[in-house]
Structure 1
Amino acid sequence: MRTYGADLSPVIAVLGVPAAGKSTQSKAVARRVGGVRASVGDWLRALAAAGDEEARTTVAEGAPISPAQYGRFLRDVRDEVSEGPLVLDGSPRDERHVPVLADALAPDGRVFGVLLQLPTDVAESRLRVRRSVGRSHRPDDSADAAARRLAYQTAALARLTESFRARWPLVTVDAAADDDVVTRRILEALPMDWTE
Protein backbone atom coordinates (compact mmCIF):
# COMPACT_ATOMS: atom_id res chain seq x y z
CA MET A 1 0.00 0.00 0.00
CA ARG A 2 1.37 3.41 -0.99
CA THR A 3 2.34 5.88 1.73
CA TYR A 4 3.04 9.59 1.52
CA GLY A 5 6.70 10.48 1.91
CA ALA A 6 9.26 13.09 0.89
CA ASP A 7 9.20 11.80 -2.69
CA LEU A 8 5.40 11.94 -2.78
CA SER A 9 2.81 14.63 -2.29
CA PRO A 10 2.84 16.74 0.87
CA VAL A 11 -0.22 16.81 3.10
CA ILE A 12 -1.91 20.05 4.21
CA ALA A 13 -4.36 19.49 7.08
CA VAL A 14 -7.01 22.21 7.52
CA LEU A 15 -8.39 22.01 11.06
CA GLY A 16 -11.04 23.84 13.05
CA VAL A 17 -14.45 23.67 14.66
CA PRO A 18 -17.62 23.22 12.58
CA ALA A 19 -18.38 26.34 10.49
CA ALA A 20 -14.80 27.64 10.73
CA GLY A 21 -14.60 27.58 6.92
CA LYS A 22 -12.58 24.39 6.53
CA SER A 23 -14.25 23.32 3.28
CA THR A 24 -14.12 26.82 1.79
CA GLN A 25 -10.43 27.15 2.59
CA SER A 26 -9.51 23.57 1.65
CA LYS A 27 -11.04 24.06 -1.80
CA ALA A 28 -9.30 27.42 -2.27
CA VAL A 29 -5.92 26.13 -1.09
CA ALA A 30 -6.15 22.96 -3.21
CA ARG A 31 -6.88 25.11 -6.28
CA ARG A 32 -3.99 27.47 -5.56
CA VAL A 33 -1.38 24.76 -4.91
CA GLY A 34 -2.54 22.37 -7.62
CA GLY A 35 -3.61 19.85 -5.03
CA VAL A 36 -6.51 17.55 -4.29
CA ARG A 37 -9.03 18.20 -1.50
CA ALA A 38 -10.27 15.25 0.54
CA SER A 39 -13.01 15.68 3.15
CA VAL A 40 -13.55 13.01 5.78
CA GLY A 41 -16.99 14.51 6.43
CA ASP A 42 -18.04 14.25 2.76
CA TRP A 43 -16.64 10.72 2.64
CA LEU A 44 -18.56 9.72 5.78
CA ARG A 45 -21.84 11.28 4.57
CA ALA A 46 -21.48 9.47 1.21
CA LEU A 47 -20.99 6.16 3.03
CA ALA A 48 -24.03 6.86 5.20
CA ALA A 49 -26.14 7.69 2.13
CA ALA A 50 -25.00 4.42 0.53
CA GLY A 51 -26.28 2.49 3.55
CA ASP A 52 -23.17 1.93 5.69
CA GLU A 53 -24.66 1.47 9.17
CA GLU A 54 -21.63 2.66 11.17
CA ALA A 55 -21.36 5.80 9.03
CA ARG A 56 -25.11 6.40 9.22
CA THR A 57 -25.04 6.22 13.03
CA THR A 58 -22.00 8.50 13.26
CA VAL A 59 -23.65 11.12 11.02
CA ALA A 60 -27.10 10.93 12.62
CA GLU A 61 -25.72 11.30 16.14
CA GLY A 62 -23.05 13.86 15.30
CA ALA A 63 -20.67 11.38 16.94
CA PRO A 64 -16.87 11.46 16.67
CA ILE A 65 -15.29 9.57 13.79
CA SER A 66 -13.50 6.51 15.12
CA PRO A 67 -9.79 5.92 14.44
CA ALA A 68 -10.80 2.87 12.37
CA GLN A 69 -13.11 5.00 10.21
CA TYR A 70 -10.36 7.61 9.79
CA GLY A 71 -7.88 4.93 8.74
CA ARG A 72 -10.36 3.64 6.17
CA PHE A 73 -10.80 7.19 4.83
CA LEU A 74 -7.03 7.65 4.46
CA ARG A 75 -6.70 4.31 2.64
CA ASP A 76 -9.46 5.33 0.23
CA VAL A 77 -7.81 8.73 -0.34
CA ARG A 78 -4.40 7.19 -0.97
CA ASP A 79 -5.90 4.97 -3.64
CA GLU A 80 -7.38 7.98 -5.48
CA VAL A 81 -4.72 10.71 -5.18
CA SER A 82 -1.70 10.36 -7.43
CA GLU A 83 -0.05 13.78 -7.50
CA GLY A 84 -0.16 17.30 -6.09
CA PRO A 85 -0.49 18.17 -2.42
CA LEU A 86 -3.25 16.39 -0.55
CA VAL A 87 -5.42 18.93 1.29
CA LEU A 88 -7.28 17.28 4.17
CA ASP A 89 -10.52 19.15 4.80
CA GLY A 90 -11.29 18.93 8.51
CA SER A 91 -9.00 16.13 9.54
CA PRO A 92 -7.50 14.77 11.64
CA ARG A 93 -10.50 15.46 13.90
CA ASP A 94 -9.04 14.59 17.28
CA GLU A 95 -5.81 13.43 18.88
CA ARG A 96 -6.65 9.75 18.28
CA HIS A 97 -6.43 10.39 14.53
CA VAL A 98 -2.90 11.87 14.61
CA PRO A 99 -1.09 8.52 14.95
CA VAL A 100 -3.42 7.06 12.30
CA LEU A 101 -2.31 9.81 9.89
CA ALA A 102 1.33 9.31 10.88
CA ASP A 103 1.03 5.57 10.20
CA ALA A 104 -0.36 6.32 6.73
CA LEU A 105 2.78 8.34 5.91
CA ALA A 106 6.31 7.27 5.16
CA PRO A 107 8.62 8.09 8.11
CA ASP A 108 9.69 11.29 6.35
CA GLY A 109 6.18 12.24 5.21
CA ARG A 110 5.66 15.99 4.89
CA VAL A 111 2.65 17.39 6.74
CA PHE A 112 1.68 20.99 7.45
CA GLY A 113 -1.31 21.99 9.54
CA VAL A 114 -3.54 25.07 9.49
CA LEU A 115 -5.83 25.72 12.45
CA LEU A 116 -8.75 27.99 11.55
CA GLN A 117 -9.42 29.79 14.83
CA LEU A 118 -13.05 30.81 15.35
CA PRO A 119 -14.83 31.80 18.58
CA THR A 120 -17.62 29.41 19.61
CA ASP A 121 -20.33 32.07 19.42
CA VAL A 122 -19.35 32.90 15.83
CA ALA A 123 -19.37 29.20 14.91
CA GLU A 124 -22.84 28.79 16.47
CA SER A 125 -24.10 31.81 14.53
CA ARG A 126 -22.68 30.50 11.24
CA LEU A 127 -24.30 27.09 11.82
CA ARG A 128 -27.67 28.73 12.50
CA VAL A 129 -27.39 30.80 9.32
CA ARG A 130 -26.34 27.75 7.31
CA ARG A 131 -29.49 25.90 8.45
CA SER A 132 -31.88 28.85 8.14
CA VAL A 133 -31.00 29.89 4.60
CA GLY A 134 -31.04 26.34 3.30
CA ARG A 135 -27.34 26.34 2.44
CA SER A 136 -26.90 23.00 4.15
CA HIS A 137 -28.72 19.77 3.51
CA ARG A 138 -26.31 17.87 5.72
CA PRO A 139 -27.95 15.59 8.29
CA ASP A 140 -25.18 16.45 10.75
CA ASP A 141 -26.14 20.14 10.54
CA SER A 142 -29.47 19.55 12.30
CA ALA A 143 -29.62 21.66 15.46
CA ASP A 144 -28.99 18.76 17.85
CA ALA A 145 -26.27 17.06 15.82
CA ALA A 146 -24.52 20.37 15.10
CA ALA A 147 -24.52 21.27 18.80
CA ARG A 148 -22.98 17.89 19.67
CA ARG A 149 -20.35 18.21 16.91
CA LEU A 150 -19.45 21.73 17.99
CA ALA A 151 -19.16 20.77 21.67
CA TYR A 152 -17.09 17.68 20.92
CA GLN A 153 -14.76 19.30 18.40
CA THR A 154 -14.22 22.40 20.53
CA ALA A 155 -13.22 20.21 23.47
CA ALA A 156 -11.06 17.97 21.27
CA LEU A 157 -9.27 20.82 19.50
CA ALA A 158 -6.80 21.63 22.29
CA ARG A 159 -5.72 17.99 22.58
CA LEU A 160 -5.58 17.65 18.80
CA THR A 161 -3.40 20.71 18.29
CA GLU A 162 -0.99 19.60 21.02
CA SER A 163 -0.68 16.13 19.49
CA PHE A 164 -0.37 17.52 15.95
CA ARG A 165 2.30 20.07 16.93
CA ALA A 166 4.35 17.32 18.54
CA ARG A 167 4.82 15.80 15.07
CA TRP A 168 4.35 18.53 12.45
CA PRO A 169 4.23 22.33 12.02
CA LEU A 170 0.87 23.97 12.71
CA VAL A 171 -0.07 27.62 12.17
CA THR A 172 -3.16 29.40 13.48
CA VAL A 173 -5.18 31.67 11.18
CA ASP A 174 -8.07 33.93 12.20
CA ALA A 175 -11.09 32.34 10.49
CA ALA A 176 -13.35 35.32 11.23
CA ALA A 177 -11.60 37.35 8.52
CA ASP A 178 -12.89 37.54 4.93
CA ASP A 179 -12.42 34.30 2.97
CA ASP A 180 -9.85 35.80 0.57
CA VAL A 181 -7.81 37.13 3.48
CA VAL A 182 -7.85 33.74 5.22
CA THR A 183 -6.74 32.00 2.01
CA ARG A 184 -3.90 34.48 1.50
CA ARG A 185 -2.69 34.01 5.08
CA ILE A 186 -2.72 30.23 4.69
CA LEU A 187 -0.75 30.38 1.45
CA GLU A 188 1.78 32.77 2.99
CA ALA A 189 2.32 30.33 5.85
CA LEU A 190 2.96 27.27 3.66
CA PRO A 191 6.52 26.15 2.94
CA MET A 192 7.64 27.89 -0.25
CA ASP A 193 8.16 24.69 -2.26
CA TRP A 194 4.54 23.61 -1.63
CA THR A 195 2.96 26.33 -3.77
CA GLU A 196 2.93 26.58 -7.55
Structure 2
Amino acid sequence: MSPVIAVLGVPAAGKSTQSKAVARRVGGVRASVGDWLRALAAAGDEEARTTVAEGAPISPAQYGRFLRDVRDEVSEGPLVLDGSPRDERHVPVLADALAPDGRVFGVLLQLPTDVAESRLRVRRSVGRSHRPDDSADAAARRLAYQTAALARLTESFRARWPLVTVDAAADDDVVTRRILEALPMDWTE
Protein backbone atom coordinates (compact mmCIF):
# COMPACT_ATOMS: atom_id res chain seq x y z
CA MET A 1 0.00 0.00 0.00
CA SER A 2 1.17 3.54 -0.71
CA PRO A 3 2.22 5.82 2.13
CA VAL A 4 -0.70 7.22 4.12
CA ILE A 5 -1.25 10.78 5.28
CA ALA A 6 -4.07 10.75 7.84
CA VAL A 7 -5.78 14.11 8.36
CA LEU A 8 -7.54 14.07 11.72
CA GLY A 9 -9.71 16.53 13.60
CA VAL A 10 -13.17 17.32 14.83
CA PRO A 11 -16.03 18.10 12.43
CA ALA A 12 -15.49 21.48 10.67
CA ALA A 13 -11.74 21.52 11.39
CA GLY A 14 -11.06 21.70 7.65
CA LYS A 15 -10.15 18.06 7.07
CA SER A 16 -11.68 17.91 3.58
CA THR A 17 -10.26 21.26 2.51
CA GLN A 18 -6.78 20.30 3.67
CA SER A 19 -6.94 16.70 2.42
CA LYS A 20 -7.81 17.92 -1.08
CA ALA A 21 -5.04 20.53 -1.04
CA VAL A 22 -2.42 18.13 0.30
CA ALA A 23 -3.37 15.37 -2.16
CA ARG A 24 -3.00 17.82 -5.05
CA ARG A 25 0.38 19.06 -3.81
CA VAL A 26 1.91 15.60 -3.18
CA GLY A 27 0.37 13.83 -6.16
CA GLY A 28 -1.72 11.61 -3.95
CA VAL A 29 -5.27 10.34 -3.82
CA ARG A 30 -7.76 11.70 -1.28
CA ALA A 31 -10.23 9.29 0.30
CA SER A 32 -12.94 10.54 2.64
CA VAL A 33 -14.51 8.07 5.04
CA GLY A 34 -17.44 10.49 5.46
CA ASP A 35 -18.06 10.75 1.69
CA TRP A 36 -17.76 6.97 1.39
CA LEU A 37 -20.21 6.40 4.22
CA ARG A 38 -22.74 8.92 2.87
CA ALA A 39 -22.54 7.30 -0.59
CA LEU A 40 -23.21 3.88 0.93
CA ALA A 41 -26.16 5.29 2.86
CA ALA A 42 -27.59 6.88 -0.29
CA ALA A 43 -27.22 3.52 -2.08
CA GLY A 44 -29.33 1.87 0.59
CA ASP A 45 -26.78 0.32 2.95
CA GLU A 46 -28.77 0.17 6.19
CA GLU A 47 -25.79 0.20 8.58
CA ALA A 48 -24.33 3.23 6.79
CA ARG A 49 -27.71 4.96 6.71
CA THR A 50 -28.13 4.52 10.46
CA THR A 51 -24.59 5.71 11.17
CA VAL A 52 -25.09 8.86 9.06
CA ALA A 53 -28.59 9.67 10.31
CA GLU A 54 -27.62 9.32 13.96
CA GLY A 55 -24.22 10.97 13.66
CA ALA A 56 -22.92 7.75 15.23
CA PRO A 57 -19.31 6.64 15.18
CA ILE A 58 -18.25 4.43 12.30
CA SER A 59 -17.62 0.88 13.47
CA PRO A 60 -14.21 -0.77 13.10
CA ALA A 61 -15.78 -3.22 10.62
CA GLN A 62 -17.09 -0.32 8.51
CA TYR A 63 -13.67 1.33 8.68
CA GLY A 64 -11.98 -1.86 7.52
CA ARG A 65 -14.42 -2.05 4.60
CA PHE A 66 -13.60 1.58 3.71
CA LEU A 67 -9.86 0.85 3.69
CA ARG A 68 -10.34 -2.22 1.49
CA ASP A 69 -12.47 -0.18 -0.91
CA VAL A 70 -9.95 2.67 -1.24
CA ARG A 71 -6.73 0.65 -1.12
CA ASP A 72 -7.01 -0.32 -4.77
CA GLU A 73 -7.57 3.28 -5.92
CA VAL A 74 -3.98 4.28 -5.19
CA SER A 75 -1.40 3.36 -7.80
CA GLU A 76 1.22 5.95 -6.86
CA GLY A 77 1.64 8.80 -4.46
CA PRO A 78 0.34 8.88 -0.92
CA LEU A 79 -3.19 7.99 0.12
CA VAL A 80 -4.55 11.04 1.93
CA LEU A 81 -7.18 9.92 4.42
CA ASP A 82 -9.73 12.67 4.97
CA GLY A 83 -11.05 12.33 8.51
CA SER A 84 -9.77 8.93 9.45
CA PRO A 85 -9.03 7.10 11.54
CA ARG A 86 -11.87 8.55 13.62
CA ASP A 87 -11.18 6.94 16.97
CA GLU A 88 -8.64 4.70 18.68
CA ARG A 89 -10.49 1.52 17.58
CA HIS A 90 -9.61 2.36 13.97
CA VAL A 91 -5.85 2.64 14.51
CA PRO A 92 -5.19 -1.13 14.63
CA VAL A 93 -7.55 -1.59 11.66
CA LEU A 94 -5.41 0.86 9.66
CA ALA A 95 -2.22 -0.86 10.82
CA ASP A 96 -3.59 -4.26 9.75
CA ALA A 97 -4.57 -2.90 6.32
CA LEU A 98 -1.02 -1.77 5.57
CA ALA A 99 1.86 -3.83 4.29
CA PRO A 100 4.41 -4.55 7.03
CA ASP A 101 6.50 -1.64 5.77
CA GLY A 102 3.53 0.71 5.38
CA ARG A 103 4.35 4.30 6.20
CA VAL A 104 1.82 6.51 7.93
CA PHE A 105 2.04 10.16 8.90
CA GLY A 106 -0.70 11.96 10.77
CA VAL A 107 -1.83 15.57 10.88
CA LEU A 108 -4.14 16.68 13.67
CA LEU A 109 -6.05 19.83 12.76
CA GLN A 110 -6.50 21.47 16.16
CA LEU A 111 -9.66 23.54 16.51
CA PRO A 112 -11.41 24.70 19.67
CA THR A 113 -14.88 23.19 20.12
CA ASP A 114 -16.61 26.59 20.10
CA VAL A 115 -15.01 27.43 16.74
CA ALA A 116 -16.05 24.03 15.34
CA GLU A 117 -19.63 24.60 16.54
CA SER A 118 -19.67 28.03 14.92
CA ARG A 119 -18.30 26.67 11.62
CA LEU A 120 -20.95 23.92 11.61
CA ARG A 121 -23.71 26.48 12.19
CA VAL A 122 -22.39 28.67 9.38
CA ARG A 123 -22.04 25.70 7.05
CA ARG A 124 -25.72 24.84 7.61
CA SER A 125 -27.00 28.42 7.46
CA VAL A 126 -25.32 29.40 4.20
CA GLY A 127 -26.31 26.18 2.47
CA ARG A 128 -22.72 25.01 2.05
CA SER A 129 -23.72 21.57 3.19
CA HIS A 130 -26.48 19.28 2.11
CA ARG A 131 -25.03 16.43 4.11
CA PRO A 132 -27.54 14.55 6.25
CA ASP A 133 -24.98 14.31 9.04
CA ASP A 134 -24.76 18.12 9.22
CA SER A 135 -28.27 18.43 10.62
CA ALA A 136 -28.10 20.22 13.96
CA ASP A 137 -28.68 17.07 16.02
CA ALA A 138 -26.40 14.75 14.04
CA ALA A 139 -23.63 17.38 13.86
CA ALA A 140 -23.83 17.96 17.62
CA ARG A 141 -23.55 14.20 18.26
CA ARG A 142 -20.61 13.85 15.84
CA LEU A 143 -18.84 16.81 17.39
CA ALA A 144 -19.37 15.54 20.94
CA TYR A 145 -18.23 12.02 20.09
CA GLN A 146 -15.19 13.04 18.04
CA THR A 147 -14.10 15.66 20.57
CA ALA A 148 -14.32 13.10 23.38
CA ALA A 149 -12.49 10.47 21.30
CA LEU A 150 -9.71 12.77 20.09
CA ALA A 151 -7.34 12.39 23.06
CA ARG A 152 -7.51 8.58 22.94
CA LEU A 153 -7.17 8.61 19.14
CA THR A 154 -4.09 10.82 19.17
CA GLU A 155 -2.47 8.75 21.93
CA SER A 156 -3.11 5.50 20.04
CA PHE A 157 -1.97 7.01 16.73
CA ARG A 158 1.23 8.46 18.22
CA ALA A 159 2.09 5.08 19.72
CA ARG A 160 2.50 3.77 16.14
CA TRP A 161 3.22 6.68 13.82
CA PRO A 162 4.32 10.32 13.77
CA LEU A 163 1.58 12.89 14.33
CA VAL A 164 1.92 16.67 14.08
CA THR A 165 -0.59 19.21 15.31
CA VAL A 166 -1.50 22.19 13.13
CA ASP A 167 -3.66 25.15 14.17
CA ALA A 168 -6.77 24.76 11.99
CA ALA A 169 -8.05 28.23 12.87
CA ALA A 170 -5.44 29.81 10.59
CA ASP A 171 -6.15 30.69 6.94
CA ASP A 172 -6.48 27.66 4.66
CA ASP A 173 -3.29 28.45 2.70
CA VAL A 174 -1.31 28.80 5.93
CA VAL A 175 -2.64 25.47 7.25
CA THR A 176 -1.75 23.72 3.97
CA ARG A 177 1.76 25.19 4.01
CA ARG A 178 2.30 24.06 7.62
CA ILE A 179 1.13 20.53 6.79
CA LEU A 180 3.42 20.28 3.77
CA GLU A 181 6.37 21.60 5.80
CA ALA A 182 5.75 18.91 8.42
CA LEU A 183 5.63 15.98 5.97
CA PRO A 184 8.71 13.79 5.54
CA MET A 185 10.82 15.25 2.71
CA ASP A 186 10.51 12.24 0.41
CA TRP A 187 6.69 12.62 0.42
CA THR A 188 6.74 16.15 -0.99
CA GLU A 189 9.35 15.87 -3.76
TM, length-normalised to structure 2: 0.99
Shift of 1:80: 1.9
Shift of 1:79: 2.0
Distance 2:25 2:99 in 1: 25
Distance 1:107 1:170 in 2: 19
Shift of 1:46: 0.1
Distance 2:163 2:60 in 1: 21
Distance 2:114 2:13 in 1: 11
Distance 1:58 1:118 in 2: 24
Structure 1 segments unaligned to the other structure (5+ residues): 1-7
Give aligned-pair identity as a percent. Answer: 99
Distance 2:73 2:28 in 1: 12
Distance 1:68 1:170 in 2: 24
Distance 1:79 1:31 in 2: 19
Could you tell me which residue of structure 2 aligns to residue 47 of structure 1? 40
Q: Which whole-Å deviations, capped at 9, do the CAs of 1:148-191 have from their partners, x for residues lacking one?
A: 00000000000000000000000000000000000000000000
Shift of 1:127: 0.1
Structure 2 segments unaligned to the other structure (5+ residues): none
Distance 1:73 1:177 in 2: 30
Could you tell me which residue of structure 2 aligns to residue 182 of structure 1? 175
Report SS of the residue matched to 1:80: coil
Q: 1:21-170 maps to which residues of 2 (within 5 A)? A: 21-170=14-163
Mean Cα displacement is larger for which, 48-57 or 8-17? 8-17
Distance 1:165 1:70 in 2: 19
Shift of 1:195: 0.7
Report SS of the residue matched to 1:87: strand
Q: Which whole-Å deviations, capped at 9, do the CAs of 1:61-114 have from their partners, x for residues lacking one?
A: 000000000000000001222211000000000000000000001122100000
Question: Structure 1 stretches (4+) deviating beyond 2 angstroms?
Answer: none
Report SS of the residue matched to 2:72: helix
Q: Which whole-Å deviations, capped at 9, do the CAs of 1:5-54 have from their partners, x for residues lacking one?
A: xxx52100000000000000000000000000000000000000000000
